[in-house]
Amino acid sequence: MHDLAYYNGKFMPIDEVRISPLDRGFLFADGVYEVVPVYSKNPFFFREHLNRLYRSLSRIRLDPCITKDELKSCIEELIKQTRHGHQIVYVQITRGVANRNHAFPKSARPTIFIMSSELIRPTEKMFSEGVSAITTNDNRWKSCDIKSISLLPNVLAREEAVALNCHEAILVDNGNVTEGAASTIWIAKEGKVFCPEPCKNLLEGVRIKIIEKLCFELDIFFERRNIRVNELMNADEILLTSATKEILPITSVNGKKIGIKNREGKPGRVFQRLRQRYTYLILSN
């Protein structure tokens, strides 16, 4: 059985979707996307993901010609029809099909593509031992707060990490940590949690508000501020969060072990507390 997709008003097996070579998403990466994790057929923080999608659409002046509630219904129906309990829903909206011209087309209809596939959750080994990362220059454009489908710099950064047998690339701009190639990056120091402050150089991850709320519930100090590379390398703990990876400890960066005691490279107490509470959110979703 093939994974299913929704394409411009119709549900179909994903291998039957036919996208025009003149689609502006294909020619110009003129579109935005969103990723929604689904646990036991229930979308996780669904409203927050849809709100971010529509913010991105507004930022690039793209009218999707579908209301948020209508799109929500389409996604819910796709989730229902997809065989997997845990799913990852990918939503992409482009400016549509038109002759190649940089300026916006006058009459093109947006292309709406949604696919759902099995969500492969992190392994227990990743939770218990952590993952490794590298730092690399942030070569992306200056509007990273838009969830654009133009992801070539992210692709190159992630491939740089994979070539070194690492899980993630931590992007650095003028000495400041921005985010991961496909994640939000956090540090913990002396029991306090820090996340890069909001700016156009990073995407406001849905999990930022979640982790902030969990820190409040657990009485863990939380602050948004710039994080310098030297702070990253000397952190007691480094965490990454994303829709698909949930919350993971980074225990090695550029080959250097991260950890509270003698740079031991093991997941720390802050991670363990946040992961326990985050897992509870998933189970109660």
Three-class secondary structure assignment of 62-86: CCCCCCHHHHHHHHHHHHHHCCCCC
Which pLDDT does position 263 carry in this prediction?
Answer: 57
pLDDT digit string, tens, across residues 94-120: 999 999 999 999 999 999 999 999 999
Q: What is the mean pLDDT of the chain?
A: 96
Question: Which token pair is 67?
Answer: 């209301």
Q: How many CA atoms lie within 13 A of 120 on its CB side?
A: 2
Residue-wise pLDDT for 119-167, tens only, equals 999 999 999 999 999 999 999 999 999 999 999 999 999 999 999 999 9
| CB-facing half-sphere around the CA of 125: CA atoms within 13 A | 1
**Would you call 122 exposed, middle or buried from its count of C-beta atoms within 10 A (0-12, 13-18, 19+)?**
middle
With a CB cutoff of 8 Å and minimum separation 6, the contacts of 136 are 157, 160, 161, 169, 170, 171, 172
Instruction: Give residue 185's pLDDT.
Output: 98
Per-residue pLDDT tens over the stretch 181-229: 999 999 999 999 999 999 888 999 899 999 999 999 999 999 999 999 9
Task: Please name each of the domains of the chain with its CATH number.
Answer: 4-118 (3.30.470.10), 124-283 (3.20.10.10)
In the predicted model, is pLDDT for residue 261 greater than 80?
no
Q: Pick the catalytic residue from 147, 189, 213, 266.
A: 147
pTM: 0.95
> Does residue 260 surpass a pLDDT of 70?
no
- Judging by DSSP bridges, how do beta strands 111-118 and 246-253 pair with one another? unpaired
Give me the mean pLDDT over the 54-76 stretch. Answer: 98
Any catalytic annotation for residue 147?
Answer: yes
